[in-house]
């Protein structure tokens, strides 16, 4: 008899990452390619992170510290959170998987919105949980609808703030409404992968100020610290929950180089300043160009925004035409927004290239929705 594969596994659609630059060069024979589709930091990795990696290379014959003792200590000092409330793993995707495994059983219900982080949907479906969603409203989380969708079967409420792929945020008052109305036996997963871009806004609710027993806050080194290729995510939460996550965590992750890189990056204030400054300039250039061309966009507080088109076919064709000219963007159909195309900030040169490509391509497509 052939092998048996569970139905919830065979029904999965594998996560498809943004197209690599090298792949597009091979396919199209292009001499210049700019990738603004994966929300990466255009400055490259933090120099202090790279230095820390180089200083650690001669230790690669050793197993890594699964408790991340040194990194956790550094995180504790930087963010004023007790070490026992900090958990590190190989990226936020891994932490989401561990959270779902630790606090739910197969068949349990979890809740979020349509049009949010695709990694959430992938992990929920992979682990055989029931994924309940409510639509976004004006490309933002519909807080009353989410609260109204909670039932006695709900185990987790997932919220990304800023939301990926829209870049939109909800406010302190809205978050406090959620905290007040969500039952205490429902875990609120508060994903702040892009929080550093939003923290300057007075209305933004910094998750570390809301570490209640049923709240876990996720952050990542992939975006703001330029370490997407090395995979390191962090969770802050109740000590009992953090202990439980260690029960399901793979024993030797994140790897030694990721831990060293993160420690170096935490010290790199100059890199952080440059990241924020460049992001602000680049996004304004891109938003102004879209406005000039009549392309509607989401109001973003992250390092990206969505360009909104008439329908799925238009968005897909626009993305393809840009790619044929060397500009990699992200059509976000799989996130639940079929008429959206995501673009992130770049260097000034990359931004100008993107503006020229978009100007050349957009006239082929209707931009009203």
- Give Cα 7 distance to the centre of its chain: 28
Q: pLDDT tens digit string along 68-84? A: 999 999 999 999 999 99
Using DSSP, state whether 171 is helix, strand or coil. Answer: coil
Q: pLDDT tens digit string along 320-348? A: 999 999 999 999 999 999 999 999 999 99
Q: What is the pLDDT of residue 123?
A: 95
Domain residue ranges of the chain, discontinuous segments joined by +: 7-45+270-362, 47-266
Q: What is the pLDDT of residue 28?
A: 67
Q: pLDDT tens digit string along 222-255? A: 998 999 999 999 999 999 999 999 999 999 999 9
- Contacts of residue 216, defined as CB under 8 A and 6 or more positions apart, other chains included, come to 99, 187, 188, 189, 190, 235, 236, 237, 238, 241
Q: What is the pLDDT of residue 51?
A: 98
Q: pLDDT tens digit string along 8-21? A: 777 766 666 666 77
Q: What is the pLDDT of residue 53?
A: 97
Q: What is the DSSP letter of 236?
A: E
Residue 154 scores a pLDDT above 90: yes
Q: How far is residue 62's CA from residue 53's CA, in Å, rounded to a whole number?
A: 14
- Give Cα 364 distance to the centre of its chain: 31
Kindly state the average pLDDT of the residues 23-48.
88
CATH number of 7-45+270-362: 3.90.1150.10
Total residues belonging to the chain:
369
- Contacts of residue 328, defined as CB under 8 A and 6 or more positions apart, other chains included, come to 18, 19, 21, 24, 33, 34, 35, 36, 37, 38, 322
pLDDT range class, residue 363, cuts 50, 70, 90: confident
State percent of the chain over pLDDT 90.
88
Give the count of beta carbons closer than 10 Å to the beta carbon of residue 23. 11
pLDDT range class, residue 134, cuts 50, 70, 90: very high
Kindly state the average pLDDT of the residues 129-137.
96
Q: What is the pLDDT of residue 279?
A: 98
CATH architecture under which domain 47-266 falls:
3-Layer(aba) Sandwich (3.40)
pLDDT range class, residue 368, cuts 50, 70, 90: low
Which of 28-37, 149-158, 167-176, 302-311 is the least confident region?
A: 28-37
> Of 229, 227, 302, 319, which Cα lies nearest the Cα of 268?
227
Q: Are 40 and 278 in contact (CB under 8 A)?
A: no
């Amino acid at each position: 008899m052939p092998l048996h594969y569970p139905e919830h596994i065979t029904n999965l659609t594998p996560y498809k990452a943004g197209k690599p630059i090298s792949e597009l060069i091979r396919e199209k024979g292009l001499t210049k390619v700019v990738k603004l589709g994966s929300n990466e930091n255009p400055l490259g990795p933090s120099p202090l992170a790279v230095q820390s990696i180089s200083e650690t290379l001669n230790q690669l014959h050793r197993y890594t510290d699964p408790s991340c003792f040194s990194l956790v200590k550094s995180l504790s000092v930087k963010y004023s959170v007790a070490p026992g409330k900090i958990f590190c793993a190989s990226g936020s995707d891994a932490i989401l998987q561990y959270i779902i495994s630790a606090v739910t059983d197969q068949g349990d219900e979890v809740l979020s919105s349509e049009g949010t982080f695709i990694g959430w949907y992938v992990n929920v479906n992979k682990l055989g949980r029931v994924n309940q969603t409510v639509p976004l409203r004006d490309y933002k989380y519909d807080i009353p609808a989410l609260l109204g969708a909670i039932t006695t079967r709900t185990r987790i409420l997932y919220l990304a703030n800023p939301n990926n792929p829209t870049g939109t945020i909800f406010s302190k008052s809205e978050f406090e409404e959620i905290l007040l109305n969500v039952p205490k036996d429902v875990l609120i997963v508060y994903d702040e992968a892009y929080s550093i871009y939003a923290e300057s806004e007075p209305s933004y609710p910094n998750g570390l100020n809301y570490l209640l027993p049923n709240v876990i806050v996720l952050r990542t080194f992939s975006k703001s610290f330029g370490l997407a290729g090395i995979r390191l995510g962090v969770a802050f939460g109740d000590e009992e929950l953090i202990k439980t996550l260690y029960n399901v965590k793979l024993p030797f992750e994140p790897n030694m180089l990721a831990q060293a890189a993160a420690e170096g990056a935490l010290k790199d204030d100059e890199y952080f300043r440059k990241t924020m400054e460049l992001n602000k300039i680049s996004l304004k250039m891109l938003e102004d160009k879209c406005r000039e061309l009549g392309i509607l966009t989401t109001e973003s507080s992250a390092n990206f925004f969505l360009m909104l088109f008439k329908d799925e076919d238009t968005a897909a064709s626009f993305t393809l035409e840009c790619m044929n000219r060397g500009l990699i963007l992200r059509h976000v159909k799989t996130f639940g927004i079929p008429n959206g195309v995501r673009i992130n900030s770049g260097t000034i040169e990359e931004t100008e290239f993107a503006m020229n490509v978009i100007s050349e391509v957009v006239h082929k497509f209707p931009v009203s929705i």
